[in-house]
Amino acid sequence: EAGVAQSPRYKIIEKRQSVAFWCNPISGHATLYWYQQILGQGPKLLIQFQNNGVVDDSQLPKDRFSAERLKGVDSTLKIQPAKLEDSAVYLCASSWGQGSGNTIYFGEGSWLTVV
Amino acid sequence: DQQVKQNSPSLSVQEGRISILNCDYTNSMFDYFLWYKKYPAEGPTFLISISSIKDKNEDGRFTVFLNKSAKHLSLHIVPSQPGDSAVYFCAASGNQFYFGTGTSLTVIP
């Protein structure tokens, strides 16, 4: 079974530029997550989708970050304009359902450096 | 508001000995707990989980213990192997998953 796919793996951009990350979850997983992980910290949830609907985006900086999952399968996370503090690993994850008892599975991450 | 805490940033253990990684949480509503392992330049990999109705779950060399009254869980790895050297994250879930900051385990051959 294929895991969570993410691209690109690495991206270096200048501040104020834009970047987009793509994620394809495990087949059949209805719930998709985007996490931000800064060096030395644990993953922080940015946004959670259930199928093509947003369940939680309370920690998404909506002035610069956006995400969509239009057909309820793959998803795109965009940052525009990027700031230096956005340098982090962006982890996509998926699970069968939402809520307790579900195990989330991560992709390998998209590493962003903003210079 | 760090709801899941891993107070030991790093741990070194001799090969063959037991590794014990600890995690504390604050929210008594959490009812499902997980451990993830992360190698450099890779995403976290699911390792083992435990429901709040249990106090122990075992999978091969890995055992997770849950002490609900103390709001504490631990991961035991025995015997430890050099390939276990990685960062370990604990996570707790209710409506959302919360992650600790990780413990870097080094297993010395």
Tens-of-pLDDT digits for all 115 residues of chain A?
679 999 999 999 999 999 999 999 999 999 999 999 998 889 999 999 999 899 999 999 999 999 999 888 999 999 999 999 999 999 999 999 887 788 999 999 999 999 9
* Beta carbon pairs, A and B, within 8 Å: 60
Identify the CA nearest to A113 among candidates A80, A96, A90: A90
Of residues B32, B44, B95, nearest to A106 (C-beta): B44
pLDDT of B6-41, one tens digit each?
Answer: 999 999 999 999 999 999 999 999 999 999 999 998
A113: tokens are: 């450096």
CA distance A110 to chain B (A): 9
Q: Which residue in the block uniquely carries the two structure tokens 């451990």? A: B35
pLDDT of B59-95, one tens digit each?
Answer: 999 999 999 999 999 999 999 999 999 999 999 998 7
CA distance A70 to chain B (A): 22
Determine, for residues A56 and B45 on separate chains, whether the beta-carbon distance falls below 8 Å: no
- Cα separation, A53 vs B51, in Å, equals 27
- Cα separation, B64 vs B51, in Å, equals 10
- Name the CA radius of gyration of chain B, rounded: 13
Contacts of B95 in chain A (CB under 8 A): 98-100
